[in-house]
Every structure is written in structure tokens, then in C-alpha cells.
Amino acid sequence: MRHLTKLVLAAVLSLLAAVSHAQEMSEIQTLLQEHREIIEKSSRRSIGPAIDALADSGLPEAQQVLERWQAKELWQRESDGVFFYAEERQKDILTLIDIATGDVVAEIDDKEMDQLKPNSGIRGMIGAALVRFQLMDPDPEKRLAALNAIERDAEASHLATLRGAIKGEADPEIRARKERLERLLTIRFDEDEAARVDAIESFRGDLGVDVRATLNPLVETRRMAVAGSAPDDPSVARVLRPGTEDLPRDEAFGILVDAGLAPPRIARDEQKAILIANISDGMIAGIPVSSMDSQEARDQAYAELARSGAAEALATEQDVDDALAAHSFYEVYITPSPVVVAAALATLTSIERSVALNQAVDLALDALSLASIYFLAAIGLAITFGVMRVINMAHGEFIMMGAYTGYVVQLFIPDYTLSIIVALPLAFAVTFAAGVAMERLVIRWLYHRPLETLLATFGISIALQQLAKNIFGTQARPLTAPDWLGGALVLNDVVSISYIRIAIFVMALFFLAVFLFIMRRTRLGLEVRAVTQNPRMAASMGINPDKINMLTFGLGSGIAGVAGVTIGLYAKVTSELGQDYIVQSFMTVVVGGVGNIWGTLLGASLIGFMQKGIEWMNPSNTLAAQTYMILFIILFIQFRPRGLVALKGRAAEA
């Protein structure tokens, strides 16, 4: 009797303790206990209600519970199933922290606790739930991180949360991103057809890749076949004809086989083997073997075998033709709503027009950039060729010398910005001196002897290339642009231009302005123009044509050196750098008009735009662009031998 009394008393005390513990349990703990069974099971398929309950609870502790659960910092006590945060401050001893208050509760042996270890799938689900809290976080970086997370892995549940987060957003840029993302999610997940159509139409002409990625699945199709005629239905995208490029014959029959509308086809070798295996007394299914001298006869024999059960019923070539003739093939939109499909098609059409227009702008910017490079490379040649009538085949090597000068300067000045500032005038000085030396030692003795001048400068070109190889080696040397020239100016998802190309364009305009100032506002420019127009008359007026020729050749060589520094920031610096631009330089001068700076500018623009246009039409073969350009020059000089802007006066007759 006494033993029974003790048992009853222990049970009552246990019950009272459990009731007391339940009364003291916090709201967040109570919520976890309600979903304790599925949390303990920890299955990705069943854990969703527990995660959603925490995310939708509105409890201030819910976010931290989810975060620490995701980080594997949530533990459960084996004795009563209560959840805690735990930290291992001593070996095998855990410090328990209350999930509601954050207070230290006790220290316990880690063997009495179970750690919740969510797998990657559950952690992903927790991360999606945490997005709801992060969208309203005071920290802008966390709100942006939440938007990035939604963009990577959007779910239907995010739509309502995102709409609620837009109203209280104070940052205009983040608000714009939220609104854009909300419209994209509306297109994907909203059940209201009108709302989806409005969201689709709001993106007309939009160039964002995310828009096309959202709209393209709406207009995806699958191929189907039906006996007789194709259905007259708005969901049908187009009717296909078997045997055409859109629907090859084998693919069409494969659709019939997959749909169960025709038996599989048998290969001829397989058919022949089966027929041979069924020969009996010179007969196959009652048909003499001697009569099987055609494919039709063999097909008939195989059909008889199939009817008798001696072979599997498979389609012959004739069966394929008959089946294709008896069925219609068409593509049907996967999206069930014709209204949504029509809106998506219209918006994609407007986007394609915008993309084409912006691609044309991007191509024009590339062509303008290329024209700037050609202008920089050709302006020095235009000066020497125009004034002195000297065909300088070593002009490209002055470009190369300027690029190597920039490389050497960067070896001594590690600051890339300062090194470029120093390299530009130094390259001018080095190549100016080299040009003067070349003119004094070689060119001056070969005036009015164009063939000898061409051969001499060609030999100098080879010698300078070999000298560069001996000094710097054959490997490309780096001419590094400053950090502020890194990256590109991005106007939208289609149009962008690198800052280096912009710098080259600005440099080309700068040299155009400098050249015009020298030629029109200085005594040197006046004397150069006089020598260009009439060397004898200029000499009679006290001008030394020999000196002017020397300075002009030096000026053209110096400008080539500065162009080399600029081009070196964009291209590889090697001993062959100049050879990559010498042909284009001569084409620019010839097309533009010898000795005219405006003609050189027009020639560079024409060649740059034409080359980019040819490359756009045939992007897989850049050599073809060069070939077509040379053919164009040959035809051009037949009709405009003096170029686009020909010199006037006596110089034009020289």
C-alpha cells in the first residue's frame, strides 16, 4: 500500500512539473514544440510547415532562431525535447542559452544534447524564409542581399513578401529594384491573368537580360502530332511540314513514336538479319526468297512475319511515309493562357527591336573607337607623306618604339597614372629624335626617288624590329593602364565601351586640335603649308625647305610615338606592333587624301566603320574583313585617286 502511494505521488509531482514547465515555456519555444516531430525528423519534404510557422509568427526571436538553425547552432535536450542555443566553452561541456531571452541556462554534457544539422536543402529553405526578414532590415546592404537571393532562387511565396516590403522602402534605388523584381515575380507566379499581362506590358522595349529570361519560358513550345489536320486553336504557334529544315523526317517520325501513334522503325540491316533468320525451304513467310530483289518485297515479307508473330511489329520505310502523310505536326505553346502568350510575344518583339537598335549603337561605338586608333596611327604618316611625299615603311616601328618607351617608363615609375603622364612626352621626344636622325641620315638623300625611299625605309623597318627583339625579347610586354581606365562605361545591358577606348578617342581629338593649332596658329605651321604648296616659292621667301622637311618628319614620327603609348594600353606590346597598323595607316591616308588632316580623319572613320561592319556580317573570319577592305581600297582609288579630300593648288599636282 505504501509503495502504491509513492508511485501515485511521483506521478502527480511529474504532472505538476510538466504543467509548470509548459506555463513557463516562451512563445518561441512553444512554437518549436508544436512542430517538434517534423523538426526532429529533419526531412526536406516535411520541414516546410515548421519553417513557415517561424517566418510567419511575427515573434521577434524568430529571425535569430532561423539564422542559428541554419548555422547549426540550435540544439535539443534529449530529456525533455526543449530547444536551446549551445556553445562549447569547455571540452564535452555545452553552455545552454535560452532562445527567447539569450540568458545562460546551464552547463551540460554534450552527450545529453542533440545538435540540429540541417542538410543543404533545408538550409536553402531556411535561407528563403530569412529573405522575408532581410527585405525589411534597416541595413541597406542586407536588403540588397535579400533581393539578390530572390533573383537567384525566386519562389511564389516571395511575391507577397516583396509587395509588402515596397511600401516602407525609403532608398529610391532599392525601391526601384524591389518594384522591378515584384513585376518579374508577378509574371511568373501571380494567378491573376490581368496582373500578369500588365506586368508583361510594362517591360516593352526593356533591355534587361532578366526580362528576357522571364518572358522566354512563356513562349516556349512543344511539338505535337495529330491524325488529320492540325487544330485551329490560339495555343498553336505554327504548323510544321515533315521533311523540311524546321522538322526533319526522322524527327517527325520520332514524335509519332513517342506519342504512340506509330511503331518504332526498323533499320534495314536489322530487317535483313531477321529475314535471313526466318528462311525456311527457300521461303520467308510463304514468299519465295528469289522474289525479294526490291525493298518493297522485303518490307512485305517482314510485314507477313510480324502478322504471324515471328517478328516484332516495326515500321518499314513505307510505313514511315504513310504515317507522316496521315498526320499533321504543329508546335503548341506550353503556357495555357493565350492572352499571356500574346502579351509576351508582343513585348519580346519590342525588346528585339530595342536590342537591334542598341546593337547598332554599340557597333557604332566600336567602329568609332577603331577609327580613333587608326587616326592616331595614321596622323604622323599623313604629315610626312603629305608634305614630303615620302613613303615611310618604318612608320609602324615608330609606333612600336613609343609603346616600348611607355613600358620602360613603367619599370622605373610603378605609379601607372604618373608613368603614363611621363611616357607620353618622353615617347614623343624619343621618336622625334629617331625621326630626325632617319631623315638626316637616309631620307634627305633619296628625295624624288620613291622606289629607293620605299626600299630603304622597309629595310630600316626590319632592322628596328630585330633590334627590339634583341633588347626586349619576343614575348609581349605589359603596358598597364591605370585603375581608373579599367572597366567599361555600361549604358545598358547591350551598349558598353571600355574606358581605354574612350581615352584613345579623347587622345585622337586632342591631337587633332594640336595639329590644327600648329598648322594654323604657328610659324612652323605656316612654313610647312608654304613648302607643301610650292617648295621653290617658299625657298625664295626665305624658308629653308630642308629644315622644314626635317622638322616635319620629326613631328610625324613623334606623334607616331605618342600613338604607340596610347595603342599599347589597348594592344600587346611586341616588336610586330607597328606592322599591325601600318597597312591601315596607309589605307587611311590614301582614302582620306594625301596631306590633309580632315581627309585623314574621314578616311580613318570610313575604314573603321567599314571594317566593323564587315566583321559584324562575318564575325567568324576577321581575315576576311582585311581582304575585303583591301579590295575596297583598290576599287576606291580607281574612282577617287586623290582621296575623299584632295589638296588644292600646286601641291595637288606635285
Helix (H) or strand (E) segment spanning residue 141: helix 140-152
3-state secondary structure of 115: strand
Report the distance separating Cα 77 and Cα 112, nearest Å.
6
Q: Is the dihedral of CA 171, 177, 181, 182 positive or negative?
A: positive
Q: Give the Cα-Cα-Cα angle 400, 402, 404 (nearest 5 degrees).
A: 70
Distance CA 48, CA 31 (A): 14
Grid coordinates representing 457 are 625605309
| pLDDT of the residue at 15 | 37
Place of cell 518572358: 215
Q: What is the pTM of this model?
A: 0.67
The type of residue at 628 is: Y
- The tens digit of pLDDT for each residue in 67-116 reads 888 888 888 898 888 999 988 877 888 888 898 888 888 888 888 888 88
Q: Give the C-alpha separation, 205 to 208, whole Å.
A: 9
Run of H or E including 328: strand 327-333
Please state, for a pLDDT cut of 90, what percent of the chain lies above it. 17
> 415 vs 203, 487, 569, CA distance in Å?
46, 18, 15
Confidence of residue 654 (pLDDT cuts 50, 70, 90): very low
Per-residue pLDDT of 353-395, as tens digits, reads: 998 999 888 888 888 888 888 888 888 788 777 667 777 888 8
**626, amino acid identity:** Q
For the chain, the domains span 2-123, 135-219, 221-333, 358-575
Instruction: Average the pLDDT over 347-356 and give the result.
Output: 92
Closest CA to 529 of 464, 599, 445, 597: 597
SS (H, E, C) 32-100: HHHCHHHHHHCCCCCCHHHHHHHHHCCCCCHHHHHHHHHCCCEEEECCCCCEEEEEEEECCEEEEECCC
In angstroms, the CA 422 to CA 399 distance is 17
Q: 600 exposed, middle or buried (CB, 10 Å; 0-12, 13-18, 19+)? A: buried
